Amino acid sequence: MKKRVAVLGATGIVGQRFVSLLANHPWFELSMVTASEKTAGKRYSQVVKWIIEKPMPNQAEELVLEPLNVSRIVEEKIDAAFVALPKEVAVEVEIELARRGIIVISNASNMRLEPDIPLLNPEINADHVEAIEVQRSSRKWSGAIVKVPNCTTAILTLTLKPIYDEYGLKRVIVATMQGLSGAGLTGVPSMMILDNIIPYIEGEEEKVETESRKIMGLFDGNTIVFNNEFTVSASCHRVMVLEGHSLAVFIETNERVDVDEVARVMEEFKNNKIKDMSLPTAPLKPIIVRREIDRPQPRLDRLEGNGMSVVVGRIREDKALNGIKYFAVGHNTLRGAAGTGVLIAELLVKKNIL
């Protein structure tokens, strides 16, 4: 029996990704799509400006859009709701959904830092799902809320984890070149970005700096404790790339890094927490290392592992930090949003939470 799932905010770019991933999913039945009041009652294919590289699933074309309404979601016996709503809207419905028994897997940034809300990048911290029990008992929810990390953070932490495990981390500096889709379908006007860079993305640097330490923290049986061993400093910039976030990463490690071994450490990713779970959306290789001098590149590498792998290259010594530096590309609306959301849902099924 497939789980019945809804996508809340199904017409935006992250919503489109959710629809694309869920429409023919082996474990989930895409049973409801919501959008704004004014589109309610129309067919999904009539309303959506479908722009992703995969064709719209036939099954999705005929779905009828509903307005966002908690009671309707409960009535429809939805097991899990994937949230691709703006934070301001998400805030109003997520808790109510959890209270009424729905598993909420949310891409919205509210509550991401709360100590009983798992912020999951499954390969790194699948075990944080245990916090759901705490969450449920203290908040008196029959459902639950789990959060997908910020897009850049999801990509960055995946590359950091094997290095952390092997060498320890002290300081991480990251400068990003982020794709347009991160701002939504209409977020970046073409007049502002053509032949240009916008060196500011609201809230992004703070998210990278704090969420990284929660994802790489520990669940102590009671709360998720932030990792205080390392600090992160981020500088985030928008560039004229359709999709894919690119990161220049500089790292000071605790122990001396053997540059020649880092690639192997990343490719092996020994402590991958979902390695043997056979989750359908898990990439074969969470981290792919390219040896060419000029890779990865966002247009050419963003879809590796169906957009769920992060591609790393140019691993080299960093003389200022006595550590290493490298370049990484990840897909911001797949690994950085909807893809990780679906992967989390699969993990919850495996753990019998969903």
Q: Which residues are catalytic?
A: 151, 245
CA pair distance 346, 33, nearest whole angstrom: 19
Burial of 112 (0-12, 13-18, 19+ CB in 10 A): buried
Please provide residue 176's backbone torsions phi and psi, each rounded to the nearest 5 degrees.
-110, 155
Helices 151-167 and 259-268, packing angle to 10 deg: 120
Closest to its own copies by CB, 51 vs 92, is: 51
Rank residues 51 and 284 by Cβ distance to its own copies and give the closer one. Answer: 51
Distance (Å, whole) CA 91 – CA 84: 12
Residues that bind its own copies (CB under 8 A): 13, 49-51, 53, 171-173, 175, 177, 180-181, 185-200, 209, 231-233, 235, 237, 239-242, 246, 248, 250, 293-300, 313-314, 318-321, 325, 327
CB of 246 to its own copies, least distance (A): 5
CA separation for the pair 226, 217 (Å, rounded)? 4
Stated as kind and residue range, the H or E segment containing 207 is helix 204-215
For tokens 């040896």, name the residue.
291
CA 158 from chain centre, in angstroms, equals 11
Cβ 109 to its own copies, closest distance in Å? 18
Determine the Cα–Cα distance for residues 148 and 225; give it in Å rounded to an integer: 17
Question: Which of residues 223 and 235 has its CB atom nearest to its own copies in the complex?
Answer: 235
> Amino acid letter at 81?
A
Angle between helix 204-215 and helix 151-167 axes, rounded to 10 deg: 40
Which residues on adjacent β-strands are paired with residue 232?
172
Q: To 10 degrees, the CA torsion angle through 103, 19, 210, 258?
A: 120
Q: Kindly state the smallest distance separating residue 234's Cβ from its own copies, in Å.
A: 9
Nearest residue (CB) to its own copies, 97 versus 180? 180
Residue 7 CB, nearest approach to its own copies (Å): 19
Torsion of CA 326, 267, 107, 112, to 10 degrees: -80
How far apart are CB 161 and its own copies at their closest, in Å?
18
Gap between the Cα atoms of 78 and 30, Å rounded: 9
Which residue number, 69 or 231, has a Cβ lying nearer to its own copies? 231
- Comparing CB distances to its own copies, the nearer of 62 and 292 is 292
| Rounded least distance, CB 327 to its own copies, Å | 4
